[in-house]
């Protein structure tokens, strides 16, 4: 059957194709010879029945790129009219094209268009892991009529590096889907789902002519910044360079990059021993980054974490590393793909980063290797990390992912080595059942955070999870689908101490009105907290539990909202003291292009443990109040205005201080420990004008501050007072323009 499909597509797509005008109007003459798709099947809920509303699509390889058109029948009264920003997540009418240009199931590119013309793009790796940090350049247009709405898009061949073909043909794999915003229903061709272990592997193969494009693009920038606190100004300039002479080679470089904050990160207050993960939106680091994807099942873990480049300098001055330049090469030879990454920071505290990545595709598996190296002269430290990864798909039901990692740290004349591995097995059964096994070992001295990210080492973790998906619920049910999950896990550190055994039960529900609901309950055994005292002894902790609930309802009329709530215990108090948090964020739509939101988050932890020094910890009664507000105004397709405010007040009153003895017991102590409070503010007004694709003018005003005091204060007062913080106040103007040669 698959052979017949490929032959039919070959016959349809091998003939020379003329250019398609991307105007949103599907001209039958332009799409002659295209592969015509009509068999769209439901994948949310995953019933694989025909879609509720008729959808057609056309796929055509042209010399200018891969052209795709959608015809979406839909009554006008059910269409969503909400305008969305780039990389939107809102539940609106939309279509998706996903392309695996090499057809090997390792990396795909996702192109999304909303019915109102907004776009999103992302990179898909590890079968079903999406990263929307990447922004590509591609053509798109939307039109509508009384019966439905149309989409046309063109993806240039220079979008991604791709392997060479044979006999004038190239084999790619494609996936198309359409989402109805008012109900959340998704119908797709082929009927693959990112909610299953195999997703990219189930894309449909296409044999297309071996088209190729070359491109040289230079994006110079100039920025000016005025600091209203220091009463100083700064001017900077640089450029990004993108060169693709053919399909098998791409070079991306940046000279004196400017990473002024045109995108505001969410505020983070972190008193734990674990570093918070923050994604990267800087264009150079997101361009064709998929080849460097080397992750493990541990949360956010990866061997190459690009936020390390330009991170705070090693001299603890608080200044960011000054990046002189960086270069990235992507390419292929035969069935082997490679990537080379290098970056250099200036001055005596500057670091040097390098990475090499090689991957090879076989019939049922991918194999890869990666090496990273960081030279940190200010710390007299060199860090080298090597990894081997394997993705094996022996059958359509079974998939296995294996990662082996080793690190070598040379610092001040001493060398430290250690290793780790992960194994991830997924098995799809009949009637919606699925099993999953994960095993992880990270050695006590494994260190990858010079260039990568790992929340913790010294881990020996395993779990077994059983899932059941219900996609054929009665028509009178408010749910379109549900999925139940049951998980049992165990986790020990590399010293043989039990961190926790856990039983988890959760349920995910997709409602017929397009809403999303999730509930989770974790029951944790007694164990130890081995990171709390930062190496001064493990702390015994009794059994605990935590329960989570969230509900997200998309826009209905003028309103949309999100709510979440948690109830939990923990610390050395165990189940004797119960904490909670709750958050509600309603959004009001003044019109389809203008919305405002205001949300409140409140948290109380009655037995919050905070490390003080040595083996001294404090147990606090913590109260956290956070106010979030803002507006999004899409004035035209090119003009956007965004306002974002976050104000936090945290109050912590001491209940008791403890010293941790050699056996891990917490012994009450009268050592002096202060109450404390924290105020934190982040405020940004950002205007963006798109001059041309990937060419922007930004005008950004930002203000913020952080203050921690050894006193206790009511959280409403702290939030109000945080609005007066002014550690930073800046006005930034940045202009970048992409020239294609």
Residue 56 sits in a domain of what CATH number? 2.60.40.1190
Phi, then psi, of 74 in degrees rounded to 5? -170, 130
> Does residue 532 belong to any structural domain of this protein?
no
- Determine the Cα–Cα distance for residues 433 and 101; give it in Å rounded to an integer: 31
> Does residue 425 belong to any structural domain of this protein?
yes
- Same structural domain, 343 and 488: no
Contacts of 637 (CB under 8 A, 6+ apart): 117, 690
- Same structural domain, 53 and 106: yes
> Does residue 611 belong to any structural domain of this protein?
yes
Q: Residue count of the chain, please give it.
A: 741
- Same structural domain, 298 and 430: yes
Structural domains counted in the chain: 3
pLDDT at 258: 66
pLDDT at 366: 86
> Does residue 397 belong to any structural domain of this protein?
yes
Q: Of all helices (H) and strands (E), which one includes residue 283? A: helix 283-286
> Does residue 632 belong to any structural domain of this protein?
yes
pLDDT at 261: 61
CA atoms within 13 A of residue 391's CA, in its CB half-sphere: 24
> In this structure, are strands 215-227 and 232-246 parallel, antiparallel, or unpaired?
antiparallel
Question: Is residue 598 reached through a cis peptide bond, with omega within 30 degrees of 0 on the bond before it?
Answer: no
- Same structural domain, 329 and 472: no
Rg (CA), the chain: 27
pLDDT profile of the chain (741 residues), mean per 10: 42 54 94 95 94 97 96 96 91 97 89 96 88 88 97 94 86 97 96 91 94 92 93 92 88 79 81 89 80 88 93 88 91 88 93 96 89 97 97 89 97 96 94 95 97 96 97 92 97 96 97 95 98 95 98 95 97 96 97 96 97 97 97 93 97 97 96 96 96 93 95 94 95 94 83
Q: Tell me the three state secondary structure of residue 8.
A: helix
- Determine the Cα–Cα distance for residues 420 and 483; give it in Å rounded to an integer: 32
Contact 181, 139 (CB under 8 A): no
β-bridge mates for residue 728, sequence order: 704
- Same structural domain, 88 and 175: yes
pLDDT at 333: 84
Pick the last residue of a domain from 525, 560, 578: 525
CB atoms within 10 A of CB 721: 16
> Does residue 179 belong to any structural domain of this protein?
yes
- Same structural domain, 648 and 719: yes
pLDDT at 12: 43
φ/ψ bin of 233: left (φ > 0), alpha (ψ from -120 to 50), beta (otherwise): beta
pLDDT at 262: 76
- Same structural domain, 472 and 583: no
Q: Tell me the three state secondary structure of residue 98.
A: strand
Contact 255, 325 (CB under 8 A): yes
Pick the last residue of a domain from 186, 211, 236: 211
**Cα 287 to Cα 141, 290, 330, 371, distances in angstroms:** 23, 8, 10, 20
pLDDT at 4: 39
Nearest to 65 by CA among 9, 15, 17: 17
* Residue 439: exposure state from Cβ atoms within 10 A (0-12, 13-18, ≥19): middle
Residue written as tokens 């081995």? Answer: 530
> Does residue 538 belong to any structural domain of this protein?
no
Residue 695 CA from chain centroid, whole number = 23
Q: Of all helices (H) and strands (E), which one includes residue 233? A: strand 232-246
> Does residue 243 belong to any structural domain of this protein?
yes
- Same structural domain, 384 and 468: no
Domain housing 251? 216-458+511-516+543-740
- Same structural domain, 227 and 182: no
């Amino acid at each position: 059957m698959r052979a017949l499909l490929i032959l039919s597509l070959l016959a349809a797509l091998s003939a020379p194709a003329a250019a398609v005008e991307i105007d949103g109007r599907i001209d039958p003459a332009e799409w002659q010879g295209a592969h015509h798709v009509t068999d769209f099947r439901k994948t949310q809920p995953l019933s694989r029945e025909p879609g509720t509303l008729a959808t057609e699509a056309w796929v055509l390889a042209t010399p200018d790129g891969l052209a795709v058109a959608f015809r979406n029948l839909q009554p006008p009264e059910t269409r969503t009219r909400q305008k969305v920003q780039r990389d939107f997540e809102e539940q609106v009418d939309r279509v998706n094209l996903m392309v695996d240009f090499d057809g090997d199931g390792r990396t795909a590119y996702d192109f999304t268009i909303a019915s109102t013309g907004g776009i999103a793009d992302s990179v898909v790796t590890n079968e079903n892991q999406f990263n929307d940090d990447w922004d590509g350049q591609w053509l798109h247009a939307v039109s509508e009529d009384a019966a439905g709405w149309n989409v046309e898009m063109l993806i240039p061949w220079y979008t991604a590096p791709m392997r060479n073909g044979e006999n004038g043909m190239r084999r790619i794999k494609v996936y198309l889907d359409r989402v109805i915003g008012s109900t959340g229903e998704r119908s797709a061709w082929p009927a693959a789902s990112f909610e299953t272990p195999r997703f990219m592997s189930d894309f449909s193969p296409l044999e297309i002519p071996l088209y190729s494009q070359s491109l040289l693009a230079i994006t110079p920038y100039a920025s000016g910044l005025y600091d209203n606190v220091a009463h100083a100004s700064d001017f900077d300039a640089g450029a990004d360079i993108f060169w693709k002479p053919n399909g098998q080679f791409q070079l991306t470089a940046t000279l004196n990059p400017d990473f002024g904050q045109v995108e505001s990160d969410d505020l983070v207050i972190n008193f734990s021993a674990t570093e918070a993960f923050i994604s990267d939106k800087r264009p150079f680091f997101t361009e064709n980054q998929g080849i460097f994807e080397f992750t493990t099942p541990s949360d956010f873990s990866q061997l190459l974490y690009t936020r390390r480049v330009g991170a705070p300098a090693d001299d603890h001055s608080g200044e960011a590393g000054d990046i002189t330049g960086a270069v990235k090469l992507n390419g292929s030879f035969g069935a082997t793909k490679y990537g080379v990454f290098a970056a250099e920071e200036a001055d005596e505290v500057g670091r040097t980063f390098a990475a090499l990545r090689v991957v090879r595709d076989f019939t049922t598996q991918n194999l890869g290797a990666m090496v990273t190296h960081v030279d940190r002269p200010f710390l007299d430290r060199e860090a080298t990390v090597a990894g081997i990864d394997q993705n094996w798909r022996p059958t359509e039901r079974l998939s296995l992912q294996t990662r082996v990692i080793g690190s070598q740290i040379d610092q001040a004349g001493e060398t430290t080595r250690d290793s780790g591995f992960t194994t991830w097995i997924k098995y799809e059964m009949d009637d919606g059942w699925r099993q999953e096994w994960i095993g992880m070992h990270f050695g006590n001295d494994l260190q990858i955070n010079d260039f990568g990210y790992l929340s913790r080492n010294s881990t020996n973790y395993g779990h077994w999870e059983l899932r059941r998906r219900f996609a054929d619920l009665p028509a009178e049910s408010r749910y379109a689908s549900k999925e139940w999950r049951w998980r049992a896990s165990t986790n020990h550190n590399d010293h043989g101490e039990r961190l926790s055994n856990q039983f988890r039960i959760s349920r995910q529900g997709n409602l017929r009105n397009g809403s999303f609901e999730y509930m989770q309950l974790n029951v944790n055994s007694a164990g130890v907290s081995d990171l709390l005292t930062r190496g001064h002894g493990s702390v015994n902790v009794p059994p605990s539990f935590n329960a989570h609930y969230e509900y997200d309802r998309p826009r209905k009329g003028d309103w949309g909202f999100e709510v979440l709530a948690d109830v939990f215990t923990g610390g050395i108090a165990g189940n004797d003291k119960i904490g909670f948090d709750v958050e509600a964020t309603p959004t009001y739509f003044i019109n389809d292009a203008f919305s405002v939101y205001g949300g409140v988050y409140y948290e109380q932890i009655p037995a919050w443990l905070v490390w003080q020094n040595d083996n001294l910890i404090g147990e606090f009664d913590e109260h956290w109040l956070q106010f979030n507000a803002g507006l999004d105004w899409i004035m035209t397709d090119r003009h956007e205005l965004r306002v974002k405010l976050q104000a936090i007040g945290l109050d912590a009153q001491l209940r008791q201080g403890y010293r941790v003895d050699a056996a891990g017991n917490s012994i009450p102590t009268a050592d002096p420990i202060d109450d404390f409070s924290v105020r934190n503010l982040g405020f940004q007004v950002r205007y963006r004008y798109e001059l041309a694709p990937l060419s922007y003018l930004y005008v950004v005003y930002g203000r913020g501050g952080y203050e921690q005091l050894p006193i206790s204060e009511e959280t409403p007062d702290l939030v109000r007072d945080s609005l007066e913080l002014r550690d930073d106040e800046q006005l930034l103007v940045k202009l970048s323009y992409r020239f294609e040669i």
